[in-house]
């Protein structure tokens, strides 16, 4: 299991005049030399922040779900899949069900989990107003997706 946590204070990722900022991309710069596969952006809408995922459909399947109303539950990440978790409102606790780690996400933070083993993650919203976006990125061709930061 590998993780990336990127906080919302990275002002360089705001796209001028777009009302959105890049949370993460694979790869995140052209200098990496790897072909682009996906980008996650946080868009500011009148109804509140929203995560938008753009992905190469030949390589990646995308499924997004937003949890709210004080949700606490388990999300299963199959081997080879990537999970992109973003707090939209309020604090969110994400933890490995059978492991020693946990991470707090503040609004606008992004947390990416990948790995070669199946993984169960507990998501806990701290208050009823909290909202979190969870996107599963599934490989269509390769046996596993790999993060190219």
Percent of the chain topping pLDDT 90 = 53
For position 17, what pLDDT does the model report?
Answer: 62
pLDDT at 79 over 70: yes
Placement of tokens 């109804």 in the chain = 47
Mean per-residue pLDDT, 56-82: 96
Q: How much is the mean pLDDT over the chain?
A: 86
- pLDDT tens digits, 83-135: 999 999 999 999 999 878 899 999 888 899 998 899 999 999 989 999 999 99
pLDDT at 10 over 70: no
- pLDDT tens digits, 120-131: 999 999 899 999
- What residues have CB less than 8 Å from 87, skipping those under 6 apart? 105, 106, 107, 108, 109, 130, 131, 132
Sheet strands (E) in 7-143: 14-15, 20-26, 38-45, 48-55, 60-67, 72-77, 82-89, 92-96, 102-105, 110-114, 119-125, 131-139
pLDDT at 46 over 60: yes
Residues 6, 69: contact at Cβ < 8 Å? no
């Amino acid at each position: 299991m590998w993780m990336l946590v990127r906080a919302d204070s990275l002002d360089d990722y705001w796209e001028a005049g777009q009302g959105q900022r890049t949370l993460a991309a694979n790869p995140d710069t052209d200098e990496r030399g790897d072909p682009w596969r996906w980008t996650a952006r946080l868009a500011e809408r009148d109804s509140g922040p929203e995560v938008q995922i753009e992905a190469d459909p030949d390589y990646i399947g995308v499924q997004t779900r937003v949890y709210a109303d004080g949700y606490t539950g388990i999300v299963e990440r199959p081997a080879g899949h990537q999970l992109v978790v973003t707090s939209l409102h309020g604090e969110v606790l994400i933890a490995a069900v059978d492991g020693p780690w946990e991470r707090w996400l503040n609004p606008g933070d992004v947390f990416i989990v990948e790995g070669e083993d199946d993984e169960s993650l507990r998501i806990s919203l701290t208050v009823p107003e909290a909202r979190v976006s969870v996107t599963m990125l599934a490989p269509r061709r390769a046996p596993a997706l790999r993060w190219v930061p």
